Chain A
Amino acid sequence: MTKSDQSSDMNLLNSVWAEFLKFYAFRIPQIAYASIPAFLLLFVFQLFYVERLSAHLGPATVLEALPYLFFVSWKTIFFQLFIVAFSSYCVAVDSQYGMIRIGCTQPVSRFQYLLGKSIAIELHVILFAVVYVASLFLWVCICTGFRGLSAPTATAVVSLASRTAVFCVALSGCMVAVSVLRRSLLDALVTCCVVFACLALLTTLPMRFHLEAGLFLRYFFYPIAAVLPKDWPLPFPMQHAPLWQFVLVSFTTPAIFFIPAVLHFQFRDISE
């Protein structure tokens, strides 16, 4: 075994680290870290100064106000669309500019190349989700005067961040897999949006198919359950599903997309 063969054992970690820093060098993450709190400020302004939420809730605690801000910002799907766009961009940019020729002549197998890239993207997505929830928390704290901060509040916020991260990683995983099948940025973006719409349309399947527990976007509002009071009057789909079920669906849905993507990428000619 030569020196280069031995060093290749570390290739997946090297690949993940190289891709992670490369995406960072694209400057999209830095822009996102600055934009997410600014973007949420619009919803803060709407809720607390236009809709006068504080007047409706009375002297609300952080945990009482947080679900409202999460709900209004989450349902606009701007954040999810950003995740979709980021994931598809990070994959398709290689084919778009021919860098896939460089990537695939490095000493990593095609599978490792794809896996390294996917993990690096997911790490960024986790950071985006954490920044998103942290920004929500920060704005709510400011607007409620840090009222009701306690250990259970912190636990609920951490739970919200974890669930949001799992949801975003699963969504991103689907989009990464779909983008692997495309060879230009525009193709990848359009296909990802179509797949996102299709996943949403699947939630309208009649109940007689008994598929609702396995449909990923039925768990769209699952993260919010971490911060909702038990007597919340409006039920969200799958809000009370067990955590393992949410995690399982969040794992299997991208895996279903990844199988054809990996098989296709493993054997395809790199002709870009």
Chain B
Amino acid sequence: MLEVNALVKRFGTCTVVDGISFSVAEGEVVGFVGPNGAGKSTTMKIISGLLNANSGSVTIDGILFSDSPRAYLGRLGALIESPAFYPGLNARDHLAYLARVRGHYSDALIGNALNRVGLDSDSRKPVRKFSTGMKQRLGIAMAILHKPKLLVLDEPTNGLDPAAIVAMRDLIRQLAESGTAVLVSSHLLSEIQRVCNRVVFVKAGRVARDQKIQGDNASTVKMFVRCSNPAAALDVLTKEDFVFEVQPSEDGLMCTVSNQSVAQIGIVLVRSGLDILELSPAKGDLEHTYVSEYGSGMSEGLK
């Protein structure tokens, strides 16, 4: 769906994007991760046709922006940086404007978009009275109004409360299930891990790593086990069929099991006479990768 090939963007003498290449397939949710200034937003702006690249190419459905801007942008929905609005207009006015530009105006379309982001009851309120989260939700409604084939979301969870973050996650999954390719950038790595199929790590304008990840929707889960006798626990778990993989980690064991078999870990260890000190989901896979890729940043500076 989206093909980004050797993209380069310079501002004066500063090269912000330095040969980024990646792709997003139909129905795939790809996280776009990196520290501030890595070139994420610039890349997303180039994909959205807002910035002109110095070299390289971007295609959506095989269409180059320069060949047919209308066909290219017709397939794209984007929420870039903070959502933008006319303060005096209400949510419905904004959506009506976009629907009319595309020639698809209908009350049902607008009502459906408002309903999907939970803004139907506030649709007549001027946007200047909206909270940050409500503005973010309206920005997303504007991006998904026309059911785009590619959705580009830059920090979509900014300002959202926990319930809205969960709703946003569900919305992204629904869109992906319906075939929409989603490129999402966020500093909330836990959210990226939960919602994305793949993560592209960007560093100094280049792709540093492109890795597949497990989300909540995966059939297996990685668990961390700490017990009184790790060597004995390793023996016990290796013999179990429901354990797909088990490896010793720094102070315990990391094991991959099916979603339904998490409780079985505790049961077999207790039956084997081992004391369980900790049994928890192996959180922070992405954080570990992130820190190994970029360092711990400010915290290192504070030491």
Chain A residues near B87 (CB, 8 Å)? 97
B93 touches A105 (CB 8 A): no
Stretch at the interface among A3-11, A37-45, A165-173, A204-212: A3-11
Q: Report the minimal beta-carbon distance from A17 to chain B, rounded to whole angstroms.
A: 6
Say which residue of A15, A17, A99, A107 sits within 8 Å of B74 (CB atoms): A107
Given A8-B70, A97-B84, A98-B84, A105:B52 Cβ within 8 A: no
Residue of A5, A27, A269 with most partner-chain B CB within 10 A: A269
- A22 beta carbon closer than 8 Å to chain B: yes
A99 touches B85 (CB 8 A): yes
Given A26-B88, A99-B84, A104-B49, A4:B71 Cβ within 8 A: yes
B103 touches A7 (CB 8 A): yes
- A270 beta carbon closer than 8 Å to chain B: yes
The complex places the Cα of A154 from the Cα of B70 at a distance, in Å, of 46
The complex places the Cα of A8 from the Cα of B72 at a distance, in Å, of 11
B101 touches A97 (CB 8 A): no
- A109 beta carbon closer than 8 Å to chain B: yes
Chain A residues near B77 (CB, 8 Å)? 105
B76 touches A17 (CB 8 A): no
Interface size on B, residues (CB 8 A): 36
Q: Report the minimal beta-carbon distance from A118 to chain B, rounded to whole angstroms.
A: 15
- A244 beta carbon closer than 8 Å to chain B: no
- B112 beta carbon closer than 8 Å to chain A: no
A101 touches B80 (CB 8 A): yes
Chain B residues near A105 (CB, 8 Å)? 48-50, 73, 76-78, 80
Q: A residues within 8 Å of B by Cβ? A: 2, 4-5, 7-8, 10-11, 14-15, 17-18, 21-22, 25-27, 93, 97-110, 267, 269-271
22 interchain pairs (CB within 8 A)? Answer: A2-B71, A2-B74, A4-B74, A4-B75, A5-B68, A10-B103, A14-B100, A14-B103, A21-B97, A21-B100, A22-B86, A22-B97, A27-B88, A97-B84, A98-B81, A99-B86, A101-B78, A101-B80, A105-B80, A107-B70, A108-B69, A108-B101
